[in-house]
Amino acid sequence: MRDFDDKQSVSTADHHRRRRLVALGSACVVALGTLVIVAVSVGSPGKWNPQQLEQGAIAEKPKMELALQAKAAALVIAKRKAQTKLENAAIDQAIQQSGIVSQAGMENKEVALTFDDGPSEYTGAILDTLKKYDADATFFTLGNQVGLYPLPMQRAVAEGHVVGNHTWDHQDLTRLGPKDIRTEMSQQAGAVTGKALPAPKLFRPPYGAYNAAVVAEARKQGMLTVLWSIDTNDYTRPAPAAMAQQVIDTVQPGAIILMHDGGGDRTTTSAALPMILKGLEKKGYKMVTVPQLLLDNPPAVEQQDVNRTPVA
Ligand code: NI
């Protein structure tokens, strides 16, 4: 899923810009390339001084941060090896069954928060919030974003989150032929493994649009197609409190919750996330990754009809 920037009133735009700057401030440990893009995207070229970068110290900081996070991610991957094996077995079982899930079983009060269309300049702030509430999540990333924002990806894995596949560049796969479907998935996986991160075992089709060929190709590439049971509609930018309340009111054990950390202005998602986490915590829910959710709560065999294309 992703939205496309729409018209905003001047005051709303200013408001969003301020919010965005605050979010950016807390996520300033980003890679050098990211800094360039962020500086352009906030539209204040006057504050950007390339000469500072040439002085070395500032330029080295993001590089060091990235190297540290990559090292931390590698350690976590090694440490979680036995657990990952169990989770992958649970995923493989679901692949063998229908190859597609939209929610897990209801054994435990666990839910999976999922974030699509990133990584982006908003991912860092979302990771900060998840850390604060000790919540794990799953990020369905775009291959063409992974190279632009390597730091939040390394950090996500280092902090126990899971990186999934949301194709290379967010095309509607039901409109593509078999070869292009294959490439959309494999190029994204290549971008992730190129950063020394685990090959995605989970796949989410852009726009939630899928057919039998899409699910079959994901399966062929060792991936389970993962939809969702709760759509926050965060891309429509509802009031954060209302967005959070909808999740809290409709949550069930085994729910998979759809949100976005990229593809447009995500200040609403960032603002709603602490309220969602607080509310879920209060109801006794634990926020886990999709693999953990599937391991602890195996999904019912029936799930989705792979020939149905949902409108999402
Ligand atoms: Ni998407």
Cβ–Cβ under 8 Å, residues 312 and 1: yes
| Dist. CA 51 → ligand 1 center (Å) | 37
Q: Which residues are catalytic?
A: 116, 260
How far apart are the CA of 236 and the centre of ligand 1, in A? 13
pLDDT computed for residue 311 by the predictor: 41
Provide the residue range defining the domain that includes 19.
Answer: 2-43
Residue 144 Cα to ligand 1 midpoint, Å, equals 13
Spatial distance between the Cα atoms of 23 and 108, rounded to a whole number of angstroms:
33
Q: Determine the pLDDT at residue 60.
A: 77
**pLDDT at position 62:** 83
Four-CA torsion 282, 116, 121, 60, nearest 10 degrees:
100
Q: How many domains does the chain have?
A: 2
Instruction: Look at the block and give the residue holding tokens 């796969």.
Output: 173
Spatial separation of the C-alpha atoms in residues 99 and 312, rounded to whole Å: 19
115's tokens? 């974030």
Contact between residue 254 and residue 101 where contact means Cβ atoms under 8 Å apart: no
pLDDT under 50 in the chain at which residues? Answer: 2-48, 50, 307, 309-312
- Secondary structure element (H or E) that encloses residue 203, with its range: strand 202-203
- pLDDT at position 15: 44
> Residue 301: what pLDDT?
72
Q: Please count the other Cβ atoms lying within 10 Å of the Cβ belonging to residue 22.
A: 13
CA 169–ligand 1 middle distance (angstroms): 9
What pLDDT is attached to residue 186?
98
- Say what the pLDDT of residue 207 is: 97
Q: Phi, psi (5° rounding) for residue 258? A: -95, 125
Are 142 and 12 part of one and the same domain? no
For 84-112, b/e burial (b = at least 16 CB within 10 A) is: beebbebbeebbebbbbbbbbbeeeebbb
User: What is the rounded (10 degree) CA torsion for 209, 3, 62, 43?
Assistant: 160
In-domain check, residue 305 = no
Closest listed residue to residue 151, CA positions, set 66, 267, 28: 66
Looking at residue 28, what is its pLDDT? 45
| Strand locations in 60-199 (E) | 100-101, 110-116, 137-141, 162-165
pTM: 0.80
* 28 falls within a domain: yes
> Is 58 part of any domain?
no
Residue 302 in domain: no
CATH number at residue 265: 3.20.20.370
If asked whether residues 30 and 160 sit together in one domain, one would say no
97-122 per-position pLDDT tens digit:
999 999 999 999 999 999 999 999 99
- Does one domain contain both 89 and 221? yes
Give the Cα separation of 205 and 176 in Å (integer).
12
Contact partners, residue 58, CB within 8 Å, separation at least 6: 52
Instruction: Write the burial class of residue 67 (CB in 10 Å: 0-12 exposed, 13-18 middle, 19+ buried).
Output: exposed
Q: What pLDDT, on the 0 to 100 scale, is given for residue 300?
A: 81
The rounded mean pLDDT for the chain is 85
Q: What is the DSSP string of 233-294?
A: -GGG---HHHHHHHHHHH--TT-EEEEESSSS--HHHHHHHHHHHHHHHHTT-EE--HHHHH
Rounded-to-integer distance, Cα 211 and Cα 209, Å? 7
pLDDT at 259: 98
* CA 48 to centroid of ligand 1, rounded, Å: 31
Q: Output the six-digit token pair for 206.
A: 């852009």
Q: Would residue 220 count as lying in a domain? A: yes
271 closest CA partner among 296, 243, 292: 243
pLDDT given for residue 302 in this prediction: 59
Tokens of 198: 């685990």
State residue 193's pLDDT score. Answer: 97
Q: What are the φ and ψ backbone dihedral angles of 162, each rounded to 5 degrees?
A: -115, 140
- pLDDT for res 16: 46
pLDDT for 309: 47
Identify whether residues 36 and 67 lie together within a single domain.
no
| Residue at 67 is within a domain | yes
35 and 91 in a common domain:
no
| pLDDT tens per residue, range 33-75 | 444 444 444 434 444 454 555 555 556 778 899 999 999 999 9
Q: Do 31 and 99 reside in the same domain of the chain?
A: no
